Structure 1
Amino acid sequence: MRYISPFPELFRHTPWCLLVVLLAACSDGDDDTHTTPVVLTPLDTYTSIDERTSTLYIKDLPGSVGNTYESGHIPIFFNLEDHAIINPHDTDGAWLTLPQGKAQDNHWDVCFSGIYNSYITFNNGTIADTPGYGGTGQGGMVVLDALFDELDEAPADEVFDAFMAEQTSSGWHDFPVGHKGWYFYSLQSHIMSAISGVTIVVRTGDGKFAKLEMKTLYLGDPENPTVNTPAPYFTFRYFLQADGSRNLSTR
């Protein structure tokens, strides 16, 4: 049985800046266990931070909105340290294609590309068929069956290398067969559903480590999205270890 994501159900309908999330189990009356309040502080329109753990929460961040399967979705490049998309935008705020050569620096960490920006890849200048190929990026990625808050350390470089030798992005799980994805796709409803208990460990463009958990690509994180629900709008959380170590503990 897969783990149910720890994103509180309240996040579905309540602005994160107004939430106080209680993260400990209730006491059984015989011990001193008590709830621990964690305040999410807004940083900008789409980002809040849990200051106790330095975990960042991104909610409803627009991707390549307004495009379709037929027209294609432009790649969206995201900087984890700045919690910001680095693509330029037009006067209406719509994202534009990254200028030629800009993907070859280390100022971005993850790229959301493919249909509805649903495929996540990394910034590495040495790996062909990735956006940063030929550049200075030192990044990498490995997708693990691990609970976000229980993943305390980034794996060894050999684990990253083995994963990236098999695949250079993560999206639709088991498509093609064996692909380690972060979502299931229903051929009946044509809806993407994030897989609970999957954490993406990222080595950033400048060689630091982070862990990331995707929640949804649908605006407002509806309980039952349809093909008419606006997408892609990114909702995810991540923790970036600023000191360069592999310590990813958020307990």
Structure 2
Amino acid sequence: MKKQLFFVGVLAAVAGFTACSSDENDTPAPQILSTTVTNLNIDTASTGKFTLYSLSENKIIPNSDSATTKWDIGFQALNVIVNGGVSGPGKTQAQFVTGVFANLTTAPTTGYATDSTAVKVAKAWYNYNFMTHIVTAIPGKVIMLKTTNNNYAKIEIFSYYKDAPAAPTGTEQARLLNFRYVYQPNGSVNFK
């Protein structure tokens, strides 16, 4: 009887250890986030602050967290900053590349820069028509980011106006940014 109880106890222990090790191996790998952000309010120029955004969390970060690494990119009217250099305590770096967003399946491994007083991501994404005062996104201008956590993202801003009209007339509400992005959470340069 003692041998049977001992044998049952050993089997239970082995089953318990096997179950624990199996759970550890079943942890899913982080998934690539591909999304579109619509009507992000970037009308903050009068406050001097930026609308801060976390790509990994797909949400606005409060300005009270501007001195943290919780955000990746910030928008203010036509200006764009990244959380690095003079713009924030992070190590986020950016660069512009030209190409069709969907076809850019790999992030560059070099060529990134942090914000400085001389260089910001800012004005490379849009055209401004001085006659009509209309801002249009430049097709094929993609912001590539290497985040503080050494993850990669690509962003394409496609409209500066509410609900992203195909042909803005200047009567639409401005400073409501529309962009698409892909965030790779595992440190890989591949967006597939």
Length-normalised TM-score, structure 1: 0.58
Whether 1:199 aligns to 2:155 is: no
Percent identity, aligned pairs only, is 25
Contact 2:73-2:81 at 8 Å conserved across structures? yes
CA distance in 1, matches of 2:151, 2:32: 17
Query: What's the counterpart of residue 21 of structure 1?
Result: none
Query: What's the counterpart of residue 112 of structure 1?
Result: 75
Aligned-pair Cα RMSD in Å: 2.5
Unaligned runs of 5+ in 1: 1-51, 88-97, 172-180
Query: What's the counterpart of residue 85 of structure 1?
Result: 60
Residue identity opposite 2:157 in structure 1: M
CA distance in 2, matches of 1:162, 1:103: 16
Query: What's the counterpart of residue 160 of structure 1?
Result: 112
| 1:64-143 → structure 2 map (5 Å cutoff) | 64=43, 71=46, 74-87=49-62, 98-99=63-64, 102-113=65-76, 116=77, 118-124=78-84, 127=85, 130-132=86-88, 135=89, 137-143=90-96
Query: What's the counterpart of residue 184 of structure 1?
Result: 127
Residue identity opposite 1:214 in structure 2: I
Query: How far did residue 54 of structure 1 move?
Result: 4.1
Taking a change above 3 Å as real, the CA distance of residues 103 and 183 of structure 1, as seen in their structure-2 partners, is same
CA distance in 2, matches of 1:53, 1:205: 17
Secondary structure class of the residue paired with 2:112: helix
Query: What's the counterpart of residue 146 of structure 1?
Result: 99
Taking a change above 3 Å as real, the CA distance of residues 56 and 144 of structure 1, as seen in their structure-2 partners, is same
Whether 1:224 aligns to 2:146 is: no
Contact 1:104-1:131 at 8 Å conserved across structures? no
More strand by share: 2
Query: How far did residue 166 of structure 1 move?
Result: 6.4
Residue identity opposite 2:72 in structure 1: D
CA distance in 2, matches of 1:225, 1:81: 31
CA distance in 1, matches of 2:109, 2:74: 22
Where has structure 1 moved over 4 Å in runs of 4 or more? 162-166
Query: Which is bigger in relative contact order (C-alpha 8 A, separation at least 6)?
Result: 2
Length-normalised TM-score, structure 2: 0.74
Larger Rg: 2
Residue identity opposite 2:120 in structure 1: T
Whether 1:245 aligns to 2:181 is: no
CA distance in 2, matches of 1:217, 1:191: 9
Secondary structure class of the residue paired with 2:187: coil
Secondary structure class of the residue paired with 1:217: strand
Contact 1:109-1:204 at 8 Å conserved across structures? yes
Contact 2:92-2:114 at 8 Å conserved across structures? no
More helix by share: 2
Number of equivalences: 162
Query: What's the counterpart of residue 174 of structure 1?
Result: none
Query: How far did residue 219 of structure 1 move?
Result: 0.3
CA distance in 2, matches of 1:162, 1:207: 13
